């Protein structure tokens, strides 16, 4: 998949209810209540005079003046303004969808269970959620979305597409897709369902803990700590942390996860629009700072996943195995508007602790491997066991 494909938010898991989320997130948790803190002094600039001019003209000359809905018109104006920015991560969310996306951070949503991206104006699937309606219906990572319910998707923004694809459990949506590397177009009908957002999964493979993180939610750090304590209590001698097809999520979640494996240091460096640099550092209290660790990544590992991978790689704490990550290095803030709608605005770019840019580049693993599924997990387990064995062999002097 083109490395410059962008995930529109985190989940939008979220927006997608279908996910995204995008998105990236690397959403900054804690939306602000009305407008951004930086306000225009003296009202709108002269360039915005045409908005009033257009509204006055419409209200005076439109044939069905009584049918004009000022709220819808104002929302349409904001939507168009955000689209004109030209940033796939910056967009407007109507009140209904905004309410759903904020609720989805709490642990579940209704939709098809996939992560949406856009590449060169073309909507694509970054990855379907495991065991989701999308995956069961045959949706694959890298699929191009050509139509949504018979409507061409070529000019849809991620927000528009997500609002069409998401929906109530039990209802269906039709996607016309093109699998990566194929020329044939396939129509797939997907029945929406309630998608639980269980982000941390643990499975003991002998004395190795296999932990998969599917996305970064508010609870991910605490859930990981609980699972790590459980694994260590069962005698785990190593951890395989699987971040494959993890599209990201809340920035705080990435910091919390990284902090379980490091005693100290920088997790990520954030640079805002004014060029100001800030650092998010490791939190104290990690429970697996000395346990042998290896991370699994691929092209669906994005955003917050890349923050974790970059921090642990730069610190020398863990090796990465798999394929190059997605390459999303920007941070979005969710801002609540007074009518219940919301804005997703890119507010900063992030870099690894060593200053490596990730946006459009991704992170190259220490062990580039074409193995997939459990074959890569088995390789990682064998690698960890070899490292544990090597540590037990006395060094020659």
Set out the domains of the chain in order of their start, with CATH numbers: 6-32+90-196 (2.30.42.10), 200-333+348-392 (3.90.226.10)
Long-range contacts of 194-197 (CB under 8 A, 24+ apart): 194/108, 194/109, 194/110, 194/169, 195/17, 195/108, 195/109, 195/110, 195/111, 195/113, 195/129, 195/132, 195/133, 196/107, 196/108, 197/11, 197/13, 197/104, 197/107, 197/108, 197/109
pLDDT, position 120: 65
Residue 13 has a pLDDT of 31
- Edge-to-edge strand order for the sheet containing 293-297? 200-205, 208-213, 238-242, 293-297, 319-322, 367-368
| Geometric angle at alpha carbon 167, from 163 and 171, rounded to 5° | 140
Average pLDDT over every residue of 72-87:
91
| Least trusted range by pLDDT, from 229-238, 303-312, 379-388 | 379-388
249 within 8 A of 275, measured Cβ to Cβ: no
Percent of the chain with pLDDT over 90: 56
Confidence band, pLDDT 50/70/90 cuts, at residue 43: confident
CA distances to 231, 238, 309, 332, 362 from 291, rounded to whole Å, are 11, 6, 16, 33, 26
What distance in Å separates the CA atoms of residue 315 and residue 304, rounded to the nearest whole number? 17
Q: Phi and psi dihedrals of 250, rounded to 5?
A: -80, 135
Residue 314 pLDDT level (bands cut at 50, 70, 90): very high
**pLDDT at 390 (0 to 100):** 63
Neighbours of 171 (CB within 10 A): 12
Q: Percent of the chain, pLDDT > 70? A: 84
- The count of other CB atoms within 10 Å of the CB of residue 93 is 27
Whether 49 has a pLDDT exceeding 50, the answer reads yes
Give the model's pLDDT for residue 10.
31
Produce one character per residue of 256-278: b if its CB has 16 or more CB atoms within 10 Å, e if not: bbbbbbbeebbbbbbbeeeeeee
Higher-confidence residue of 289 and 390: namely 289
Predicted TM-score of the model (pTM):
0.73
pLDDT of residue 8: 31
Mean pLDDT for 56-60 is 94
User: Per mean pLDDT, which range of 157-161, 197-201, 385-389 is the poorest?
Assistant: 157-161
Residue 9 binned pLDDT confidence (cut-offs 50, 70, 90)? very low
Tell me the average pLDDT across 49-60. 93
Answer whether residue 28 shows pLDDT above 60. Answer: no
β-pairing, 27-32 with 330-336?
Answer: parallel
Determine the pLDDT at residue 105. Answer: 61
The DSSP element (H or E) to which 129 belongs, if any, is none
Instruction: Identify the pLDDT of residue 159.
Output: 66
What pLDDT digit, counting tens, does each position of 315-368 carry?
Answer: 999 999 999 998 989 888 889 999 999 998 999 999 999 999 998 899 999 999
Query: Region 242-246: what's the mean pLDDT?
Result: 93
Query: Which residue, among 344, 332, 342, 328, has the nearest Cα to 91 in the 3D structure?
Result: 344
Q: What count of Cα atoms within 13 Å lies in the side-chain half-sphere of residue 183?
A: 0
Check residue 66 and report its DSSP letter.
G
Residue 239's DSSP bridge partners are 209, 293
pLDDT of residue 215: 86
pLDDT beyond 80 at 40 = no
CA dist 20 and 127 (Å) reads 10
Which span out of 2-11, 102-111, 126-135, 308-317 was modeled with the highest average pLDDT? Answer: 308-317
The pLDDT score that the predictor gives to residue 326 is 86
Q: Are strands 200-205 and 208-213 parallel, antiparallel or unpaired?
A: antiparallel
pLDDT higher at 15 or 222:
222
Distances from the Cα of 210 to the Cα of 205, 227, 231, 262, 377, angstroms: 7, 10, 9, 18, 8
Number of H helices, E strands in the chain: 10, 22
Choose between 273 and 315: higher pLDDT.
Answer: 315
What pLDDT score was predicted for residue 382? 96
User: In 208-354, which ranges are continuous DSSP H helix?
Assistant: 220-233, 251-259, 304-314
Task: Report the pLDDT value the prediction gives residue 11, as an integer from 0 to 100.
Answer: 31
Give the residue numbers annotated as catalytic, written as ranges.
Answer: 303, 314, 328
Check residue 102 and give its pLDDT: 76
Cβ atoms of 153 and 173 within 8 Å: the answer is: no
Strand partners, 351: 269, 357
Q: Does 250 or 129 have the greater pLDDT score?
A: 250
| b/e sequence 40-62, b meaning 16+ C-beta within 10 Å | eeeeeeeeeeeeeeeeeeeeeee
Give the pLDDT confidence score for residue 119 in this predicted structure. Answer: 65
How high is the mean pLDDT of the chain?
84
């Amino acid at each position: 998949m083109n490395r410059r494909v962008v995930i529109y938010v985190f989940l939008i898991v979220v927006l997608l209810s279908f996910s995204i989320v995008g998105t990236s997130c690397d959403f900054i948790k804690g939306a602000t209540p009305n407008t951004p803190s930086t306000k225009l002094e003296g009202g709108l600039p002269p360039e915005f005079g045409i908005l009033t001019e257009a509204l006055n003209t419409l209200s005076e000359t439109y044939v069905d003046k009584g049918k004009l809905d000022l709220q819808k018109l104002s929302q349409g104006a904001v939507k168009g303004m955000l689209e004109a920015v030209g940033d796939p991560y910056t967009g407007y969310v109507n009140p209904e969808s905004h309410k759903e996306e904020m609720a989805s951070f709490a642990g579940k949503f209704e939709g098809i269970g996939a992560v949406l991206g856009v590449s060169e104006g073309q909507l694509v699937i970054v990855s379907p959620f495991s065991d989701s309606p999308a995956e069961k219906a045959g949706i694959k990572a890298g699929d191009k979305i050509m139509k949504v319910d018979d409507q061409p998707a070529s000019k849809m923004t991620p927000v528009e597409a997500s609002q069409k694809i998401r929906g109530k459990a039990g209802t269906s949506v039709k996607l016309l897709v093109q699998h990566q590397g194929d020329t044939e177009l396939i129509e797939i009908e997907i029945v929406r369902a309630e998608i639980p957002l269980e982000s941390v999964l643990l499975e003991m493979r002998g004395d190795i803990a296999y932990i998969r993180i599917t996305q970064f939610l508010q609870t991910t750090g605490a859930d990981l700590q609980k699972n790590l304590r459980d694994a260590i209590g069962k005698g785990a001698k190593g951890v395989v942390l699987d971040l494959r097809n993890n599209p990201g999520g809340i920035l705080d979640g990435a910091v919390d996860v990284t902090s379980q494996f490091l005693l100290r240091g920088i997790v990520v460096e954030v640079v805002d629009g004014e060029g100001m640099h800030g650092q998010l550092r490791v939190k104290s209290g990690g429970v697996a700072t000395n346990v042998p660790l290896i991370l699994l990544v691929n092209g669906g590992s994005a955003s917050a996943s890349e923050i974790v991978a970059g921090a642990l790689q730069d610190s020398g704490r863990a090796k990465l195995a798999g394929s190059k990550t997605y390459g999303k290095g920007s941070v979005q803030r969710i801002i609540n508007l007074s009518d219940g709608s919301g804005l997703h605005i890119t507010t900063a770019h992030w870099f690894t602790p060593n200053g490596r840019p990730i946006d459009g580049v991704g992170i190259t693993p220490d062990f580039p491997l074409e193995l997939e599924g459990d074959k890569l997990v088995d390789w990682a387990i064998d690698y960890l066991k070899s490292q544990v064995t090597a540590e037990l062999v006395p060094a020659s002097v």
